[in-house]
Amino acid sequence: MKQIIYYCDRCKQKIDHLPYKLIVDCETEGGFSAELDDYTEQRAAEIESIDFCPKCLHQALELIDPVKTEEEPEAEPEPEQPKRRKLDMGKIKALHNNGWPPKEIAADMGVDPNSIHQALYRLRKAGEIA
């Protein structure tokens, strides 16, 4: 009886059962596979042809950090943006009524001036301020 023996392409060790594969895929928003560009497609084919032993697969997976689940959308780095917090509309209204310019209200509350402009716009639309 013939038995196919697989060897890990990375560490050249014999694989006990079947080799592991890394599959490169690019999914679009609709859940369909997008076409890869030529270079990526070539690299994907190379990667998919590699037989991994469990140890090398785990090492490869450890390179992917943080580990992303399918549910989690890719987080965009926004280090410049201040933390989103709920604005104290009452305070904005009070300061505005005391004649504070939006820039000073923003500085006092530690938020982006645009947030104050938006808050004032909402208050004005709601008829809360003149």
- Residues at the interface with Zn ion (CB under 5 A): 8, 10-11, 53, 56
Q: Which is nearer to Zn ion, 53 or 116 (CB)?
A: 53
Return the beta strands (E) in 8-120 as ranges: 14-15
Q: Which is nearer to Zn ion, 18 or 75 (CB)?
A: 18
Question: Minimum distance from CB of 51 to Zn ion (Å)?
Answer: 8
Q: Which is nearer to Zn ion, 11 or 94 (CB)?
A: 11
| Number of CB atoms found within 10 A of residue 61's CB | 13
Question: Minimum distance from CB of 8 to Zn ion (Å)?
Answer: 3
Residue 36 gets which letter from DSSP?
A: P
Q: Hey, is 103 helix, strand or coil? A: helix
Question: Minimum distance from CB of 56 to Zn ion (Å)?
Answer: 3
Phi, psi angle pair for 33, to nearest 5°: -75, 125
